[in-house]
Structure 1
Amino acid sequence: MKQDCESKAFIRVAEKIKKQFPRLPIIITADGLYVSQKVIQTCTDNGWNYIIRYKEGSASSIAKEYQSLPEKEKIGSEIEYQNQIMFQNTDINLTYYTGKKIKPDEKKETTEFAWIADITITKNNARKIVNAGRNRWKIENQGFNRQKHWRGNIEHAAGMNRHKRTII
């Protein structure tokens, strides 16, 4: 339900953005709820690029095709990528990132992230795609959480609680 509502809202707002800014070059960065043919087609129709967080459960055909490939492009041990993976009759490009950090208790923590994009991935731009995807997460999660729990007293986007401030 949430995916349906957010992706439909994106389609509606995309039309307004394109009308207001017809020549503005845009790269849409979004979370995994936006991995859908309608969102991808809307970006393509508007001449916009996209970098969308991919989680294997959201569109299993992407992971299956990627895993079936015998060789993937690699940059060190952190980044793997492959161009031209078929998703609902559209070629997409997939980037995987494995981040490792040592926590204060000296335990190693590994995190994995993936993004689909229409931008052809190369050794020169793969890290930029990873950074764009990670920065989107930081803005959405760390920025919003700071506002919500610091002094903003924010409830939820478009929330209707009269005792709390609301971001729209």
Structure 2
Amino acid sequence: MFIRPMIKRLHKYKLIVPMAIHCIPMAIVMILVYCSVPNEATQKPTSNMNVLITPSRYLSIIIGFLLGFADFTITMTRSVICQIAVPEYRAEMFSLTRIYQCVASCVILFISPYLTVTSWILILITFLLAGIAAMFAVLCRTHNNTVAAPIEPLEEDKDEKFTEEKA
């Protein structure tokens, strides 16, 4: 939709674009959850409605869409990072990252009854920042102009190269 043209226009920044696009919906989700869920709601049933936004089905749908969109962008970024960092074992590396995501999700689900919404959000922010730092470390170590990107840049000469190869 809008990711492909954005990556093409900002090709110089390669994987920074989808990672930034991932951070935006995640930040919106955390703000919406913080504003619409009572702080103790993860620990016990509560009738405390001291929230800025009244919870509703529509809000749940919006949060679900944003989480799905964020998962799409991080999966795309992760697959390309695996291709860049370890091209000969990219499938295995991608599988390991998915296993890590699964284990981390299970841990959060098991400890969430002991956390407040605020502490849950702080943990998410911490791991999001750690993930961004790790991604930048991999990008700096593998910085090369010939590496694969999710989408090739817009080039006017590309059509000329194709016709030369064809001839």
Relative to the length of structure 1, the TM-score reads 0.29
Structure in which a larger fraction of residues adopt strand: 1
State which structure, 1 or 2, has the greater radius of gyration over its C-alpha atoms: 2
Q: Which has the higher contact order (CA 8 A, sep 6+)?
A: 2
Relative to the length of structure 2, the TM-score reads 0.29
